[in-house]
A and B are shown apart, each in its own frame.
Chain A
């Protein structure tokens, strides 16, 4: 039981250092890197750290931490585009090896939106709706699972890194929808079925926070997902914008022409 709440903090510190090394290496290689991306990465790490270090005395506080660790943090980390940074920072040969590794079947399976949605949504149901909760509530392994599953889902749905054989937007939106529904249904379920050892009033407040807080995080995810469809160039790291690409290839749908003018 007496596990330290900050047991996975060293991993976060390591992630901060590795990213910084990548930034320096990319700069040495003469490759630029948008500061907004770096800001996202460090904000994500800060959110995850806050979740680990924050109060965990009540179910409400626990749920606040869960939202930061499992949804807000992962989304920010993914927007930090660590894969693209690695490709820019590594020497060509190693960068090629990395892309080949990312295109292997096991990796593709792991970052498939359906896998990610099942790991994330299913994991939450197992954690909160079974007696497991009382046993492992503060376990570092569970915290790590929540963080990693959140990252996988955000990466699968809106990851800006180049991805081999990325599933179509339809597959991604269906998986995302399934996860959103599973999250919302779990929140309502917990309202009436508090996890073992949680007082009713605390569980009700925690469940409402999970529901509405989850909605805010999900909304961000959905907006970014749709925005990527609308304007892909904006989300490509350092991508050049072709002038109005949606007008290319269909001249007849060009600019609006007023009649009889």
Chain B
């Protein structure tokens, strides 16, 4: 009974804050709402007898990733630039696509009984997860870590200043820096926000 009440309370919080994320115009409010939504999601894990996953959810998503998001948002101090819709077909395709995806999701959830819990206790303590990762799923685990390493190296290469990575020959013109392009895509020039 108490579990039921807790579930619906936090499910409501998760959904409401997720709506705030996509509907609110202020990016900082959006990011903070996403934190609240993640936290409510962690409560779902606790209700599923998986406190380890709940703690990881809060540490990784709410604690680390969203702090970085917020950091970047504040550092760039983005202004909201509203543009008139130039291609209404894009808007229509977006709405139609998400509606199709939502309907398909609900259909399959109802058709195949995914909503039922697996029988028996759900083994989710740190030991069980560690054993599973390093015995049954060792290959995918290592593949994911290599992928992440490649992403880190790529980020380093893109953001490195001239002279940090001495790979070019002498006298060769360095390629244009990525920052200018990324600033332009964010609706900013180097002087400040666009009028």
Same complex: no
